[in-house]
Amino acid sequence: MPVASISSPSLNVDELCHPRPSFAGPVSYGALELPSRYLLSPLAGYTNLAFRRIVRQIGGVGLATTDLISANALVHLSEKTLRMIETHDEDQPFAVQIFGHEASVMCEAAQFLQERGVDTIDINMGCPVERIAGGGSGAGMMCDLGSTLSLVQSVVESVSIPVSVKMRLGWDSTQLTAPKFAREFEQIGVVAIAIHGRTRAQGFSGVVDRSGIRAVVEAVERIPVVGNGDVRSVPDAARMIEETGCQAVSIGRGALANPWLFRQLVEWESTGQWSAPGSFNDRLELLLRQFGYMIEQWGELGGIVRFRKMAHWYLKSMRVRPKLRNMLQQSKTKEQFDAAIRDIERAGPRGFDKTGVLPDMHVPVPSGPIDRW
Ligand SMILES: Cc1cc2nc3c(=O)[nH]c(=O)nc-3n(C[C@H](O)[C@H](O)[C@H](O)COP(=O)(O)O)c2cc1C
């Protein structure tokens, strides 16, 4: 089916304005003042060093975090895990997110990270995957207030760098424990709470419950609450801030679809307006730069294999034809990759021009049973 039916060659950028928010001051994680209140939410397999460098270079990111890292693998100095916490001068301030259920291991991992110069540590209490939550880590920590508080307090006391927690609203709709956890965490020295407005049982289905996030904001006295979930655009972030009262917003999938979003948000906060996201050509340039960083870090084969997931987001947002997307995804060598890129560049975006604004891409929801993500 030809796509010539799409009449508009680019979008109306005059629409890029929205009343700006007002805040008392910048967001701080303990003594660490963040450069902006817009954070990159961890996405395992995507928010690797290469992608973090890209969004940092574009600008506007307040804090970026690694994918979730096993505290146990870290203390055993697993080579793969050590590679996952690699960082770069551009990647500042820098958080590592850890998961685990044994206090001694979590404390040892936190101390190890502090010695390596990590700015702040985030404890994962939101991962719904059975392999993690079923063992009492991730979202499994939301089921037992007493032992979770004791574990988190041990971690906070074992390091001098700030410790934050990322969680969901609760295990399911009958156990919305996040406000209670947040209140207790603040008392034991946790510096910030990031809250994804869904329960573990929900996975990624339905829409984010902003009133549930608001309940967490109301439960704490001073520490910042980071609202998270389904923010794809400046108006989405505005809604999150207006309806929840959160001090900061973290963005996961929306940043894969639009790596310019953090910069747009900072522009909006200071002027009420923001610039358009990148064109096909801009996105192609970012894709190549990020691919180059992957090769630098992982070598040719490792870089190509690890980049495939990310390439999918670039190519969809660039409106590349399925046949050419497949060609790039199937490339096994740098030569094949480069040949696919040449064809993609020649063909341009479906129904749009190479230098104009493209329509927002559809942001997919992880599918299948929660247990298997
Ligand atoms: C593929 C994928 C991987 C994720 N990995 C992590 C992770 O490692 N740690 C974490 O706390 N949350 C993880 N999340 C949850 C996100 O950080 C975020 O809370 C969720 O996607 C909702 O935000 P969004 O709508 O902005 O994406 C992941 C989500 C997805 C889709």
In DSSP terms, 328 is beta-bridged to none
CA-proximal residue: ligand 1, atom 29 (nearest): 43
Give the pLDDT confidence score for residue 134 in this predicted structure: 87
Mean pLDDT score of the chain: 93
Longest dimension (CA), the chain: 61
Judge whether residue 12 has pLDDT over 80: no
Residue type, 246: C
Give the pLDDT confidence score for residue 367 in this predicted structure: 61
State pLDDT tens for residues 202-249: 988 889 999 999 999 999 999 999 999 999 999 999 999 999 999 999
pLDDT band at 15 (very low <50, low <70, confident <90, very high): low
Q: Which residues line ligand 1 (CB under 6 A)?
A: 41-44, 67-68, 97, 124, 126-127, 166, 196, 228-231, 251-254, 366
Centre of ligand 1 to C-alpha 250, Å, is 10
Q: What is the CATH number of domain 28-271?
A: 3.20.20.70
Centre of ligand 1 to C-alpha 3, Å, is 32
CA-proximal residue: ligand 1, atom 21 (nearest): 252
Task: Quote the tokens at residue 41.
Answer: 């939410």
Residues with Cβ < 8 Å from 11, sequence gap 6 or more? 276, 356, 357, 358, 359
pLDDT band at 362 (very low <50, low <70, confident <90, very high): confident
How far apart are the C-alpha atoms of 248 and 240, rounded to whole Å?
9
Question: Hey, which of 84, 97, 196, 210 would you mutate to test ligand 1's pocket, going by the most ligand atoms within 8 Å of its Cβ?
Answer: 196
Query: If you average pLDDT over residues 144-166, what whole number do you get?
Result: 97
Report CA-CA distances (Å) from 325 to 239, 294, 319, 352.
34, 19, 9, 17
Judge whether residue 13 has pLDDT over 60: no
Judge whether residue 170 has pLDDT over 70: yes
Query: If you average pLDDT over residues 83-105, what whole number do you get?
Result: 97
Percent of the chain having pLDDT more than 70? 94
Task: Quote the tokens at residue 244.
Answer: 């929840």
Query: If you average pLDDT over residues 273-288, what whole number do you get?
Result: 97
Residue type, 261: L
Judge whether residue 368 has pLDDT over 70: no
Nearest to 346 by CA among 288, 282, 286, 280: 280
Asked if residue 241 lies in contact with residue 343, where contact means CB atoms within 8 angstroms, the answer is no
How far apart are the C-alpha atoms of 59 and 77, rounded to whole Å?
32
Q: State phi, psi for 242 to the nearest 5 degrees.
A: -65, -45
Centre of ligand 1 to C-alpha 113, Å, is 22
State pLDDT tens for residues 40-63: 999 999 999 999 999 999 999 999
Tokens 């990031």, located at residue = 194
Tokens 């109306």, located at residue = 12
CA-proximal residue: ligand 1, atom 22 (nearest): 229
pLDDT band at 301 (very low <50, low <70, confident <90, very high): very high
Judge whether residue 14 has pLDDT over 80: no
Q: Would you call 197 exposed, middle or buried from its count of C-beta atoms within 10 A (0-12, 13-18, 19+)?
A: buried
State pLDDT tens for residues 306-321: 999 999 999 999 999 9
Report CA-CA distances (Å) from 50 to 14, 21, 81, 98, 292.
32, 31, 16, 20, 8
Asked if residue 98 lies in contact with residue 158, where contact means CB atoms within 8 angstroms, the answer is no
- Please tell me the chain's helix, strand, coil percentages from 3-state DSSP, rounded to the nearest 5: 45, 15, 40
Give the pLDDT confidence score for residue 205 in this predicted structure: 87
Query: If you average pLDDT over residues 273-290, what whole number do you get?
Result: 97
Centre of ligand 1 to C-alpha 41, Å, is 6
